[in-house]
Structure 1
């Protein structure tokens, strides 16, 4: 069953990710939140929760933790009445600093695949996520 295979692959992929992110006080989900905001800085809280596959309550908890850790701040939104989340310089440095270690984790995880197979897997997962989240940004 594909959902089981994806869940098991997540378990195996998350372990080395945790080893890279733990020294920075981050979970894989928190890193995903920072990455998503880096890619799409104008996301609303609702859009972000949908893309990450979490409830708004869980998202608010993650945001609070990331604010306390100095990775996020609240900034004025498009209108004077709205607020948006913004990465802090600390978050920007973190994302740049973990790029190479995470690339190595990905390379190790995909070691049994040819480059063409890895590209196909990436494309299929992006397509699946775009459909599941109703967000074509995954296809970029």
Structure 2
């Protein structure tokens, strides 16, 4: 005869941060893609251009690590951005390396795309978070990224 007792319920576990970040990233990427489309950029491309803008001397390996893609994916992304006129390849420090340089047209596109993203961010967050909470979230994410990539350039 089956037992009539009910299994004890365990206290609710908080959702793993990995899952929360993944869900938030999916929703945020959807909004960001919509804002970046008129500028001819994807979220990944925009991130790559922003990283190069911030750290122009990065090697391809460092850049791939910084934006969280494989070197092969980075090669494909840079080739697309080069064809679109956003990047130029220049000789690196040694004869075997190259560095990437943003075109002046790209500087303007990144400026306007970033402004559009910040405007969309304000709309997206609305009154869900206070200005203090928004800055706290931004600071925590930057600290997390600095730790995860072992690169302090994420920090202000």
**Common fold: TM-score over 0.5:** yes
The 5 A counterparts of 1:52-131 are 52-111=67-126, 112-131=128-147
**CA positional deviation for 1:97:** 1.7
Deviations 1:42-95, CA, capped at 9 Å, x for gaps: 111011100111000000000000000110010122345431000011211101
Which structure has the highest helix share of the two? 1
Q: How large is the Cα RMSD of the aligned pairs?
A: 1.2
The 5 A counterparts of 1:41-56 are 41-56=56-71
> How far apart are the structure 2 equivalents of 1:129 and 1:68?
30
Q: Quick check: which has more Rg, 1 or 2?
A: 2
- TM-score for both structures, normalised by structure 2: 0.85
- Any unmatched runs of 5+ in structure 1? none
> How far apart are the structure 1 equivalents of 2:114 and 2:140?
22
Match of 1:26 in 2: 41
Deviations 1:10-34, CA, capped at 9 Å, x for gaps: 1111122111211232210011000
User: After TM superposition, which residue ranges in structure 1, 4 or more long, deviate above 4 angstroms?
Assistant: none
> How far apart are the structure 2 equivalents of 1:114 and 1:24?
29
Match of 1:35 in 2: 50
> How far apart are the structure 1 equivalents of 2:72 and 2:33?
23
Match of 2:149 in 1: 133
